[in-house]
Amino acid sequence: MKLYGSYTSPFVRHVRVVLLETAQPCEFIETDQAGSTAKSPTQRVPFLEDGDVFLTDSASITKYLREKAGQDYCKSAKELDDVCLVNTLMDATVNLFFIKRDGVDVTAVPYLQRQAARIQSTLAELNQQQWPASAPYNDAQIRLACFIGWAKFRNQIDFSSYNNLEKFYSGALNYPHFIATQPPQG
Ligand SMILES: N[C@@H](CCC(=O)N[C@@H](CS)C(=O)NCC(=O)O)C(=O)O
């Protein structure tokens, strides 16, 4: 099995945590934008190859790995909805990050302001929910921890008004598989 990704991507990190939790051997192939453009129709990471299986999204990859290990993936509609909420948050924030990095003033583009508002309203919703103080975590929770870690690493979000999310994240920082997949520091 081969996982293509980067050590900074929160989407890839979720897959890496699932690989550790399910103890499945997998070669990690560090892939930049040129590599993902050449090999995946989405031109994004992660993507996964396993024999004839080729998967292009972290959601399908995490489902595949869980099921391959005999585990459930998102048993309830609520858990799937939480995965989708975090996904929307992560997609919008990563998208704004890349656009800002290209020098665009996001405050001057109405749709990008809508993206920014979507990020804040989704964070407010997630902040109102109950989150566990420690492992075990389900896939929505792992994804949320990966998102918060990335947003802090890239200084994209001020979490000071999201106390509940901060508390959840401090707990996740003690989880060995989360520690093992930290983005490179410094
Ligand atoms: N829906 C995809 C999103 C993956 C994604 O956005 N990956 C980012 C890295 S964090 C990427 O490769 N972006 C490159 C680009 O947008 O050109 C997933 O869940 O795998």
Domain 2-68 matches domain 77-179 at the CATH topology level: no
Ligand 1 test: best mutation among 44, 96, 139, most atoms within 8 Å of CB?
A: 44
Adjacent-strand bridge partners of 49: 2, 54
**Which residue CA neighbors atom 11 of ligand 1 most closely?**
44
Ligand 1 atom with the shortest distance to the CA of 9:
10
For residues 17-23, give the mean pLDDT: 98
What integer is the mean pLDDT of 72-94? Answer: 97
pLDDT band at 144 (very low <50, low <70, confident <90, very high): very high
In the chain, where are the structural domains located? 2-68, 77-179
Predicted local distance difference test score (pLDDT) of residue 41 = 98
Q: Could you read off the pLDDT of 105-132 as tens digits, one per residue?
A: 999 999 999 999 999 999 999 999 999 9
pLDDT for residue 186 is more than 90: no
Proportion of the chain above pLDDT 90, given as a percent: 98
Q: Which residues sit with their C-beta closer than 6 Å to ligand 1?
A: 9, 11, 33, 36, 43-46, 57-59, 94, 98
The class (CATH top level) of 77-179 is mainly alpha
In sequence order, the 6+-apart residues with CB closer than 8 A to the CB of 170 are none
Gap between the Cα atoms of 2 and 112, Å rounded? 35
- Fold classification of 2-68 (topology level): Glutaredoxin (3.40.30)
Q: Considering the entire predicted model, what is its pTM?
A: 0.97
